[in-house]
């Protein structure tokens, strides 16, 4: 099998979450507000440059994010505004109302193309650990202990 897919996470990997992280320090965590403010993120320029280099090197780029479908339009707009041109079918998002942990959701999102994944870029330690447990090469781009 030809391993020609590179997966990128979005929040904390391609985007710099910034001030909206405050919504996750509340109890309970306010995921709706966290995702609702996603258009305010700054781009993580070094990781975006890697994505562009990989794309122009004939790799298929897939973005696998814990963001919900209800912010798909805002996510696509942010990606376009920051020079990330990935087909909509290559943006894999969780369903609205799905509050399960990323370590459960993201493996489900990749099941149709998992055998073709060469590597994954991720920030969140729990997700990095999960990808590696599943046998993937995962490059951790930030501390991500949340």
pLDDT in tens, 104-128: 999 999 999 999 999 999 999 999 9
**Is 92 inside a domain boundary?**
yes
**Is 126 inside a domain boundary?**
yes
The answer on pLDDT for 19 being more than 80 is yes
**Is 134 inside a domain boundary?**
yes
User: Residue 17: which domain range?
Assistant: 5-140
Contacts of 26 (CB under 8 A, 6+ apart): none
Longest CA span, the chain: 45
CATH at 27: 3.40.50.1000
**Is 124 inside a domain boundary?**
yes
**Is 43 inside a domain boundary?**
yes
**Is 146 inside a domain boundary?**
no
pTM over 0.85: yes
**Is 39 inside a domain boundary?**
yes
Query: What's the structural domain count of the chain?
Result: 1
């Amino acid at each position: 099998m030809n391993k020609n897919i590179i997966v990128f996470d979005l929040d904390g990997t391609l985007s710099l979450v910034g001030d909206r992280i405050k919504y996750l320090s509340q109890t309970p965590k306010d995921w709706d507000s966290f995702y609702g403010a996603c258009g305010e993120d700054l781009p993580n320029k070094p990781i975006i440059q890697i994505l562009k280099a990989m794309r122009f090197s004939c790799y298929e780029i897939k973005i696998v994010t814990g963001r919900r479908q209800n912010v798909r339009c805002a996510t696509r707009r942010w990606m376009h505004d920051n020079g990330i041109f990935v087909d909509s079918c290559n943006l894999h998002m969780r369903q609205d109302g799905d509050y399960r942990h990323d370590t459960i959701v993201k493996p489900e999102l990749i099941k149709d193309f998992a055998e073709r994944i060469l590597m994954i870029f991720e920030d969140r330690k729990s997700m990095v650990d999960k990808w590696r447990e599943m046998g993937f090469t995962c490059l951790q781009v930030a501390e991500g202990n949340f």
